[in-house]
A and B are shown apart, each in its own frame.
Chain A
């Protein structure tokens, strides 16, 4: 990585690969009446110009097995209708990307435009719905929880808040965009697809089913992956098109998504609205919550997980770490003429946390209770675990109150309150938010969603070679989470060898067992857990052989420092390398080792467990520009046993940066015609080092007895907490004004408007002296 020797898919050398460029819809909605490809075909260096028809109209369809779900097909290339600006219509294959783009300018598409549906408001009066199958635009409508007594409870509550919260559409925007290299290998009759993905096996299934070939005829390899964040945990139509072209034309084909495609035509996420009625008693305790959640899921249901992901997650997880009393939630996903959405890092939890935390801050303010205090009163306490909430979830032991108290204390010690109130310069505010994050869902939990394909388990194999080196294969697919380090550590610990002797292989469907890839904070727990199981088994095998060689019982053998020793005997012991050599080359000398080789398999399928964290943000709001800067950031987190603190801190910090981005900077804005207004890195504001403060991370370790390693997942927590923490801090900064902001991102203009609404004259006067 540091030498420039990494191999991201675009770095994989292939001198003969052709390049694909897509001709994309220039309009948000319309009917394709004609596609003219002749001119493009005649550009020198062009091999083929491919339409949906040329491929036999293949499509991907994600299915949720629920009556309230309307399945819709996502064609690989649009043929009858276009449903968003950027939808691929034609693929141009040429010797270079330069020529492919030249030729793409010569493809001619005639489209009869129709009025686009961009928001829920448009839906009502729309002449044409996005999908004929769903005339009202609703692809999924779930009354997830009901409580007949909720209405009365709210009616009788001393404080009832009726609020609406919104979050803007964002993009995962990994710095490596998507891309692939597809080649048909005649010798093996197999399509080899190297692709920047988090889920190689799911891509294999998607390609095989869309192309109508057997799974064994597809080998998917994920080389180094330059960030995914959920964008790469679904199957992209462009990748499948590239594969289809490689299979059809028998030429190697490369597609490298450019940034404009990535921001305007790949998957988005998080465009949601929550209408909430929440009742509190006079002590600030929740009486009940009634939620109506709508997710703008864009034009298609992403394969394989479907567009149900956001609404289901939102309705299920809304209560979070709080005892909400009575609970009802309806969650809907509706189709619009914007790009489809995928499970972007955090999936609805940044929003549900933001909603709960805003509710508590509002209630605290109205009731005159401290913000930390009101949380303490509502948070599930240590003695209450395992706690089953009205959302049907059982929360295992966590440190919800402890983390909150610890964070409040750290904030005090760090002198934040003094910094907040110092002088009469810029407005400053502090936000403190508390949440949990369900991680590493196994099949039992995932099964409740009723997806046609239910992910959950993972399988690892651990194998020792004759020289004593260890190879682990796993169905996970890391891309910057430090799996190489953590998996090696887990395996090495159990085998008593040095971590450097352990190599991880993942991301190749021909090399590893079937698996569900890396997302949902699952890999360390599920993949790492299965590697732990497998390595314990391998350790047992080693012990059997060592016992025979050392003339002891297997139960008395210990493995450590690369040696097997008899417990209690202080001698040099037997090098594990020697055991490995004996097993492989001199097995005739052994009587006890029926397994022959040193290899073992492990499976893990946990129910899912909750990591928790408290985040605090200190922000400064400039009255004059409306700009908000995050000055300092503090996290107290509990992800069980910390396998590797550097990796955990890195995940938290990166996640917080993404959360701050969603809170203050990033938004995919569309014009009323459905044209993207943030299609480049000039207007989609991924923050730089100047916008992201240092993040201090403290750990609490509550070991998890549901997992092999005692660890819980933690890949998303940073992203989940930060929007709520920043929004809370902004509102705290505006505390003197009668203004509350209930949406993200908070734009400078929103702040100025809020200040003016509050007390215009005062704002201006204060700025003058600032």
Chain B
């Protein structure tokens, strides 16, 4: 007998009710049950980070969390970043800085960076490198990714400051 559960997931602001086999990973749940194929799988053992999503705002490897565990929680994926047709500032910065080539790793890096940026970091170059080193990219050599994240951190800090003034 399959061990199945009825779960409610809030993904990018929409509620979904699903019947999930307990062993189904959150990554497969998003990709196969919800058709959100932006979350990719590159290793399924926690190293590459292509599957990184936000679970209640924290970055997690979606290959190491089961779909049932997200029951009642909020999940954010790459599909939830853009506002309609407009790419968000981070996505635009990736494009400007050539932070992607084949694009396979990109969703994971975007979500990793989104999580990091949400902590309002000082984002000195060493720290950004360290954060970015959570995920693997085989195409770019990381330079564009590091630049994009650093730039957006500065921009968002600037904005936050203006908002406070």
Q: Do A and B bind each other?
A: yes
- Residues in B neighbouring A688, C-beta threshold 8 A: 132-136, 142
| Residues of A647-694 contacting chain B, CB below 8 A | 649-650, 653-658, 680-682, 686, 688-692, 694
| Residues of B45-101 contacting chain A, CB below 8 A | 45, 47-48, 50, 77-79, 81-82, 87, 91, 94-95, 98, 100-101
Are B82 and A229 interface neighbours, CB within 8 A? Answer: no
Q: From B101, which residue of chain A is reached at the shortest CB distance?
A: A480
The listed residue (B35, B139, B145) touching A13 by CB distance below 8 A is B35
A93 interface hit (Cβ, 8 Å): no
Are A2 and B110 interface neighbours, CB within 8 A? Answer: yes
Are A650 and B40 interface neighbours, CB within 8 A? Answer: no
Q: From A98, which residue of chain B is reached at the shortest CB distance?
A: B23
Are A2 and B145 interface neighbours, CB within 8 A? Answer: no
Of the listed residues A3, A175, A655, the one surrounded by the most CB atoms of chain B closer than 10 A to its CB is A175
A174 interface hit (Cβ, 8 Å): yes
Q: If A4-B36, A226-B102 touch, does A694 touch B143 (CB 8 Å cutoff)?
A: yes
| Residues of A669-725 contacting chain B, CB below 8 A | 680-682, 686, 688-692, 694-695, 718
| Residues of B108-165 contacting chain A, CB below 8 A | 110, 129-130, 132-146
The listed residue (A224, A656, A681, A695) touching B103 by CB distance below 8 A is A224
Q: From B45, which residue of chain A is reached at the shortest CB distance?
A: A680
| Residues of A231-273 contacting chain B, CB below 8 A | 256, 258-259
- Residues in A neighbouring B143, C-beta threshold 8 A: 653, 692, 694-695
- Residues in B neighbouring A690, C-beta threshold 8 A: 129-130, 133
Q: From A633, which residue of chain B is reached at the shortest CB distance?
A: B141
Q: If A2-B94, A481-B101 touch, does A681 touch B37 (CB 8 Å cutoff)?
A: no
Are B45 and A682 interface neighbours, CB within 8 A? Answer: yes
Give the CA-CA distance A376 to B116 in the complex, in Å. Answer: 48
Are B87 and A3 interface neighbours, CB within 8 A? Answer: yes
Give the CA-CA distance A258 to B50 in the complex, in Å. Answer: 13
- Residues in A neighbouring B91, C-beta threshold 8 A: 2-3
Are B105 and A175 interface neighbours, CB within 8 A? Answer: yes
The listed residue (B43, B81, B82, B105) touching A681 by CB distance below 8 A is B43
B39 interface hit (Cβ, 8 Å): yes
A176 interface hit (Cβ, 8 Å): yes
A88 interface hit (Cβ, 8 Å): no
Give the CA-CA distance A658 to B129 in the complex, in Å. Answer: 18
Q: If A4-B77, A4-B107, A689-B132 touch, does A650 touch B43 (CB 8 Å cutoff)?
A: no
| Residues of B21-37 contacting chain A, CB below 8 A | 21, 23-24, 31, 35-37
Are B140 and A653 interface neighbours, CB within 8 A? Answer: yes
Q: From A718, which residue of chain B is reached at the shortest CB distance?
A: B141
Q: From A660, which residue of chain B is reached at the shortest CB distance?
A: B141
Of the listed residues B100, B103, B130, B133, the one surrounded by the most CB atoms of chain A closer than 10 A to its CB is B103
Give the CA-CA distance A70 to B106 in the complex, in Å. Answer: 43
A227 interface hit (Cβ, 8 Å): yes
Are B44 and A2 interface neighbours, CB within 8 A? Answer: no
Are B40 and A8 interface neighbours, CB within 8 A? Answer: yes
- Residues in A neighbouring B48, C-beta threshold 8 A: 175, 259, 681
A1 interface hit (Cβ, 8 Å): yes
- Residues in A neighbouring B42, C-beta threshold 8 A: 175-177, 259
Give the CA-CA distance A4 to B105 in the complex, in Å. Answer: 10
CB distance from A754 to the nearest CB of B (A): 28
- Residues in B neighbouring A259, C-beta threshold 8 A: 42-45, 48
Q: If A4-B39, A98-B23, A650-B144 touch, does A258 touch B103 (CB 8 Å cutoff)?
A: no
Are A175 and B98 interface neighbours, CB within 8 A? Answer: no
Of the listed residues B35, B40, B132, B135, the one surrounded by the most CB atoms of chain A closer than 10 A to its CB is B40
- Residues in B neighbouring A482, C-beta threshold 8 A: 101
Are B47 and A1 interface neighbours, CB within 8 A? Answer: no
CB distance from A486 to the nearest CB of B (A): 13
Are B47 and A681 interface neighbours, CB within 8 A? Answer: yes
Q: Give the number of residue pairs across the A-B interface with Cβ within 8 Å.
A: 160
Of the listed residues A5, A256, A695, the one surrounded by the most CB atoms of chain B closer than 10 A to its CB is A5
A613 interface hit (Cβ, 8 Å): no
A511 interface hit (Cβ, 8 Å): no
Are A176 and B141 interface neighbours, CB within 8 A? Answer: no
| Residues of A1-39 contacting chain B, CB below 8 A | 1-8, 10-11, 13
| Residues of A248-303 contacting chain B, CB below 8 A | 256, 258-259
A769 interface hit (Cβ, 8 Å): no
Q: Is the interface of B mostly helix, strand, loop or mixed?
A: loop
CB distance from B137 to the nearest CB of A (A): 7
Encoded as 1 (CB less than 8 Å from any B CB) or 0, chain A from 324 to 345 comes to 0000000000000000000000
CB distance from A341 to the nearest CB of B (A): 18
CB distance from B125 to the nearest CB of A (A): 9
Q: From A226, which residue of chain B is reached at the shortest CB distance?
A: B104
CB distance from A634 to the nearest CB of B (A): 13
B41 interface hit (Cβ, 8 Å): yes
Are A2 and B106 interface neighbours, CB within 8 A? Answer: yes
A225 interface hit (Cβ, 8 Å): yes
Give the CA-CA distance A579 to B93 in the complex, in Å. Answer: 38
A479 interface hit (Cβ, 8 Å): yes
Of the listed residues B24, B78, B138, the one surrounded by the most CB atoms of chain A closer than 10 A to its CB is B138
Of the listed residues A3, A11, A173, A686, the one surrounded by the most CB atoms of chain B closer than 10 A to its CB is A3
- Residues in B neighbouring A692, C-beta threshold 8 A: 141-143
A591 interface hit (Cβ, 8 Å): no
Q: From A696, which residue of chain B is reached at the shortest CB distance?
A: B143
Of the listed residues B39, B78, B137, the one surrounded by the most CB atoms of chain A closer than 10 A to its CB is B137
Are B141 and A656 interface neighbours, CB within 8 A? Answer: yes
Are A695 and B141 interface neighbours, CB within 8 A? Answer: yes
Are B101 and A654 interface neighbours, CB within 8 A? Answer: yes
Give the CA-CA distance A367 to B132 in the complex, in Å. Answer: 45
CB distance from B38 to the nearest CB of A (A): 2
Q: If A4-B77, A654-B141 touch, does A686 touch B100 (CB 8 Å cutoff)?
A: no
Q: From A690, which residue of chain B is reached at the shortest CB distance?
A: B133
Of the listed residues B36, B91, B136, the one surrounded by the most CB atoms of chain A closer than 10 A to its CB is B136
CB distance from A485 to the nearest CB of B (A): 11
The listed residue (B37, B44, B106) touching A1 by CB distance below 8 A is B106
The listed residue (A5, A479, A653, A682) touching B102 by CB distance below 8 A is A479
Are B37 and A689 interface neighbours, CB within 8 A? Answer: no
CB distance from A421 to the nearest CB of B (A): 24
CB distance from A105 to the nearest CB of B (A): 14
Are A224 and B142 interface neighbours, CB within 8 A? Answer: no
Are A2 and B87 interface neighbours, CB within 8 A? Answer: yes
Q: From A658, which residue of chain B is reached at the shortest CB distance?
A: B138
Give the CA-CA distance A10 to B39 in the complex, in Å. Answer: 11
CB distance from B159 to the nearest CB of A (A): 21
CB distance from B28 to the nearest CB of A (A): 8
19 A-B pairs besides A4-B107, A175-B139 with CB distance below 8 A are A1-B100, A8-B37, A11-B31, A174-B104, A175-B50, A175-B136, A227-B102, A227-B138, A229-B138, A480-B101, A650-B139, A653-B140, A654-B101, A688-B134, A689-B142, A689-B146, A690-B129, A692-B141, A692-B143
A-B contact pairs, 22 of them (CB 8 A): A2-B110, A3-B79, A3-B87, A4-B38, A4-B77, A8-B104, A175-B104, A175-B136, A176-B104, A226-B104, A227-B104, A229-B138, A480-B100, A480-B103, A653-B143, A654-B140, A681-B45, A688-B136, A689-B129, A689-B132, A691-B133, A692-B142
Which 3 pairs of residues, A with B, have the shortest CB-CB distance? A4-B38, A226-B104, A480-B102
